[in-house]
């Protein structure tokens, strides 16, 4: 396959200067051949005269330009050009079609542009000198910008016959300050920035450096933005390409493109490669119907390149996806995209921050960010950016020169309506249920002695599809779990549903994941951990492939299997009852914590515990 790369500086004979000369020569010849062009004079006249001449049948040509009629009249062999004032006659064309003319075919010709009435000197300036200057300036600028790109670290990359060129952005201006919120993601990426800054520091110790990180999150959460910010912070070139660009081509092209990309990146190291929509190439190979040869080849090439390149050179690959579960496991192995950076939809504070970042770019009056942020629960950063832009457009439409709160509120409605259509927006009632559900988990966890502390509670939808989330972290590394701890886990898992029942008096589908986990756990206690009274230490289930998902199969009779189900059910019932008791005893705290969560959307474990302590319950 033929591949060509433009790496060198442009040669001395600047093509733009040559081009300029050609233009000048052509213009000069033009002047020699048609010296009359500019000498022609135009006489002003009125519309009445035009009609008169037309009825006379002496008009040869007509041209209409910005409402004015230019026409030529044959008068005893002499040709004169006239120009009328601005005319608005809808019948004009009809009249002209009907009119007689001294032309051979007897019809008026609608033709060429008649030169303006200018002095020959002005004409000379307008026709030759100005365009010449213009070409010269444009040519100069273009050639300079090309030189800048090539010289300052960036370079054009031309991929085989695909014709698709990407070039590394040599100078990224985006920094972490442009990315509002997403603090956890920034924290994790800071190390990569640090490493790109001073690779030496890491290589001296012999540390092997991160080669790749996977940015995971719903659309519009700023994955591309933060990747650019990493390059901007580290001041390194940024190669950006989308996964889909690899697979649109003929078989073999994708792989060649990957090779080319890495070769270029190696030359520019330290640098960042950003592959957007990596799922387009990185889809699990065993999934789907039949293989896609092209995609597989491309993926294999990507894996080979990632393994092959020297981590010490400082090429870091960031990839983005919103469907991490679709990715081929091979991509996630150590030494490849082994770091996962979660980007989530912004909570109230996050939305305020994002709105502020984007409001800085438009002129605005003192606006009430709080109102806007509250009205936009569930929207992404991209949608918030869009809201600000829509508001600015609205302000212009209304003839104002600054954005007001009202503009923002109006555009929120437009953008939210779009999001609602996609089923993304959670209603106020649903939000309330989700909040109580999560607080239910958290409260039940906190009220039990052997239970990991609550770290974070959120009602912002997660990438995983969960509508809310209560995160517990084990303090210390625990390798053994006792029976009570396991049972308490099950109680905590039932806490969400219990809160729905006790407070909202509904049961929803929101607990499906809790149910699955609680059942698995209870089952394992009975069949594998010997933690039921009935079966003592009898093993009832075997696990295969512990590291690959862990399929299980029963190792007992069918009757026992039925009895196990009974046992599991008993245990879950007990857990459910316990959480019911805990929640009933603490209804006031439930309400207080849930309304705090509804307000803030994400709260920390400390904030939650603070409410608990204040209520005197703990
Ligand atoms: N945290 C944020 N702070 C400021 N602006 C943001 C943030 N998140 C998103 N935006 C705005 O949204 C735009 C789109 O974000 P970006 O393209 O980075 O999202 P993405 O996650 O890559 O989306 P996709 O998955 O659709 O590619 C950004 O250019 C920026 O204007
Ligand atoms: Zn739950």
Specify burial of residue 320 (Cβ count, 10 A radius: 0-12, 13-18, 19+): buried
Q: Compute, in angstroms, the gap from residue 354 CA to the centroid of ligand 1.
A: 10
Band (420; pLDDT cuts 50, 70, 90): low
576 is in an annotated binding site: no
Q: Is the pLDDT of residue 333 over 90?
A: no
Q: Is the pLDDT of residue 296 over 90?
A: no
Band (114; pLDDT cuts 50, 70, 90): very low
Question: Residue 542 and residue 395: Cα distance in Å, rounded?
Answer: 67
CB 495 within 8 A of CB 443: yes
Q: CB-hemisphere CA count at 13 Å for 507? A: 7
Q: Is the pLDDT of residue 578 over 90?
A: yes
Of all ligands present, the nearest one to the C-alpha of 462 is 2
CB 341 within 8 A of CB 319: no
Band (119; pLDDT cuts 50, 70, 90): low
- In 504-614 the beta strands, taken as DSSP E runs, fall at 541-544, 551-554, 602-604
- What domains sit in the chain, N to C, each tagged with a CATH number? 41-114 (3.30.720.210), 165-342 (3.40.50.300), 348-421 (1.10.8.60), 428-614 (1.20.58.760)
* ipTM of the complex as predicted: 0.94
Q: pTM value?
A: 0.60
Q: Compute, in angstroms, the gap from residue 181 CA to the centroid of ligand 1.
A: 12
Helices (H), 70-175: 92-98, 120-124, 130-151
Sort strands 68-75 and 59-65 into parallel, antiparallel or unpaired.
Answer: antiparallel
381 lines ligand 1 (CB under 6 A): yes
Q: What is the mean pLDDT of residues 552-569?
A: 90
Q: Is the pLDDT of residue 573 over 90?
A: yes
229 lines ligand 1 (CB under 6 A): no
Strand partners for 274 = 240, 318
Nearest to 375 by CA among 420, 337, 340, 333: 420
Q: Compute, in angstroms, the gap from residue 379 CA to the centroid of ligand 2.
A: 22
389 lines ligand 1 (CB under 6 A): no
441 is in an annotated binding site: yes
Atom index in ligand 1 nearest the CA of residue 343 equals 21
Percent of the chain past pLDDT 90, that is, above it, reads 29
**DSSP-based three-state secondary structure for 11:** coil
Q: List, in order, residues 6 or more apart from 32 with CB less than 8 Å away.
A: none
Task: Please give the pLDDT value at position 292.
Answer: 64
DSSP class of residue 510 equals G
| 438: annotated active-site residue | yes
Question: Residue 240 and residue 129: Cα distance in Å, rounded?
Answer: 42
Q: Which of 1-15, 59-73, 110-124, 225-239 has the lowest mean pLDDT?
A: 1-15
**Chain centre distance of CA 59:** 62
Question: Residue 260 and residue 3: Cα distance in Å, rounded?
Answer: 9
CB 294 within 8 A of CB 283: no
Quote the tokens at residue 481: 């779990």
Phi, psi values for residue 602, rounded to 5°: -130, 130
CB 276 within 8 A of CB 240: yes
224 lines ligand 1 (CB under 6 A): yes
Q: What is the mean pLDDT of residues 490-503?
A: 96
Question: Residue 499 and residue 497: Cα distance in Å, rounded?
Answer: 5
Atom index in ligand 1 nearest the CA of residue 215 equals 21
Return the CA Rg of the chain. 36
Phi, psi values for residue 255, rounded to 5°: -65, -40
Mutation choice for ligand 1 from 324, 381, 419, CB with most ligand atoms inside 8 A: 381
H or E, element range at 85: strand 78-86
Cis amide linkage into residue 543, ω under 30° from 0: no
405 is in an annotated binding site: no
More confident residue, 29 or 225: 225
89 is in an annotated binding site: no
CB 16 within 8 A of CB 146: no
Q: Which of 15-29, 332-346, 581-595 has the lowest mean pLDDT?
A: 15-29
Q: Average per-residue pLDDT in the chain?
A: 80
Length of the chain: 618
223 lines ligand 1 (CB under 6 A): yes
Q: List, in order, residues 6 or more apart from 604 with CB less than 8 Å away.
A: 455, 456
Q: What is the mean pLDDT of residues 421-427?
A: 68
Cβ atoms within 10 Å of 545's Cβ, excluding its own: 9
357 lines ligand 1 (CB under 6 A): yes
* Residue that has been written with the tokens 């409260």 in this structure: 443
Q: Is the pLDDT of residue 116 over 60?
A: no
Atom index in ligand 1 nearest the CA of residue 353 equals 3
220 is in an annotated binding site: yes
CB 542 within 8 A of CB 553: yes
Question: Residue 34 and residue 43: Cα distance in Å, rounded?
Answer: 21
Q: List, in order, residues 6 or more apart from 313 with CB less than 8 Å away.
A: 199, 266, 269, 270
Q: What is the mean pLDDT of residues 234-253?
A: 81
Q: CB-hemisphere CA count at 13 Å for 14? A: 14
Percent of the chain past pLDDT 70, that is, above it, reads 79
Task: Please give the pLDDT value at position 354.
Answer: 95
Strand partners for 542 = 553
Q: Is the pLDDT of residue 38 over 70?
A: no
174 lines ligand 1 (CB under 6 A): no
Q: Compute, in angstroms, the gap from residue 516 CA to the centroid of ligand 2.
A: 10
Band (609; pLDDT cuts 50, 70, 90): very high
DSSP class of residue 403 equals B
Q: Is the pLDDT of residue 62 over 50?
A: yes
């Amino acid at each position: 396959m033929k591949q060509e790369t433009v790496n060198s500086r442009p040669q001395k004979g600047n093509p733009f200067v040559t081009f300029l000369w050609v233009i000048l020569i052509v213009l000069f010849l033009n002047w020699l051949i048609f010296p009359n062009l500019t000498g022609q004079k135009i006489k002003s006249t009125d519309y009445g005269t035009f009609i008169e001449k037309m009825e006379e049948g002496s008009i040869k040509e007509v041209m209409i330009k910005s409402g004015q009629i230019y026409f030529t009249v044959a008068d005893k062999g002499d040709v004169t050009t006239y120009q009328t004032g601005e005319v608005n006659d809808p019948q004009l064309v009809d009249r002209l079609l009907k009119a007689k003319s001294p032309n051979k075919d007897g019809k008026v010709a609608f033709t060429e542009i008649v030169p303006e009435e200018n002095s020959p000197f002005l004409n000379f300036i307008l026709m030759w000198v100005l365009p010449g200057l213009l070409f010269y300036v444009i040519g100069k600028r273009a050639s300079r910008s090309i030189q800048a790109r090539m010289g300052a670290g960036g370079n054009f990359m031309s991929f085989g016959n695909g014709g698709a060129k990407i070039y590394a952005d040599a100078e990224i201006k985006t920094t972490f300050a442009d990315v509002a919120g997403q603090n956890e993601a920034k924290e994790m990426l800071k190390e990569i920035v640090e490493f790109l800054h001073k690779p030496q520091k890491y290589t001296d110790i012999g540390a092997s450096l991160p080669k790749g990180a996977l940015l995971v999150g719903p659309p519009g959460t700023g994955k591309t933005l933060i990747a650019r910010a990493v390059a901007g912070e580290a001041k390194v070139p940024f190669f950006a390409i989308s996964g889909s660009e690899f697979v649109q081509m003929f078989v073999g092209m994708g792989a060649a493109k990957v090779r080319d990309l890495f070769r270029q990146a190696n030359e520019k190291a330290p640098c960042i490669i950003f592959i957007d929509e990596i799922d387009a190439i990185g889809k699990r190979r065993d999934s789907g119907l039949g293989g896609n040869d092209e995609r597989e080849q491309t993926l294999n090439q990507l894996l080979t390149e990632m393994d092959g390149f020297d981590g010490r050179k400082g090429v870091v690959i960031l990839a983005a996806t919103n469907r991490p579960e679709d990715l081929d496991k091979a991509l996630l192995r150590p030494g490849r995209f082994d770091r996962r950076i979660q980007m989530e939809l912004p909570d109230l504070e996050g939305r305020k921050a994002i709105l502020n970042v984007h409001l800085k770019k438009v002129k605005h009056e003192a606006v009430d960010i709080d109102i806007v942020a509250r009205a936009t629960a569930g929207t992404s950063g991209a949608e918030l950016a869009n809201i600000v832009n829509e508001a600015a457009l609205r302000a212009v439409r209304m003839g104002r020169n600054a954005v007001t709160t009202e503009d923002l509120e109006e555009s929120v409605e437009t953008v939210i309506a779009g999001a609602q259509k996609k089923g993304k927006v959670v209603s106020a009632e649903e939000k309330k249920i989700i909040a109580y559900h999560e607080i239910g988990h958290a409260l039940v966890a906190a009220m039990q002695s052997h239970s990991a502390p609550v770290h974070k509670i959120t009602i912002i939808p997660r990438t995983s599809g969960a509508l809310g989330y209560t995160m517990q972290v084990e303090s210390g590394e625990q390798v053994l779990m006792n029976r009570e701890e396991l049972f308490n886990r099950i109680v905590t898992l039932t806490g969400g549903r219990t809160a729905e029942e006790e407070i909202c008096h509904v049961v929803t589908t929101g607990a499906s994941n809790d149910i699955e986990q609680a059942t698995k756990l209870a089952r394992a206690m009975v069949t594998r951990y010997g933690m039921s009274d009935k079966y003592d230490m009898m093993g009832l289930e075997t696990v295969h492939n512990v590291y690959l998902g862990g399929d299980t199969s029963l190792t007992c009779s069918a009757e026992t299997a039925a009895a196990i189900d009974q046992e599991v059910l008993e245990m879950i019932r007990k857990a459910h009852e316990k959480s019911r008791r805990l929640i009933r005893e603490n209804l006031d705290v439930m309400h207080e914590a849930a309304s705090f969560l509804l307000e803030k959307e994400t709260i920390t474990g400390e904030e939650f515990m603070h409410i608990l302590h204040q209520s005197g319950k703990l």
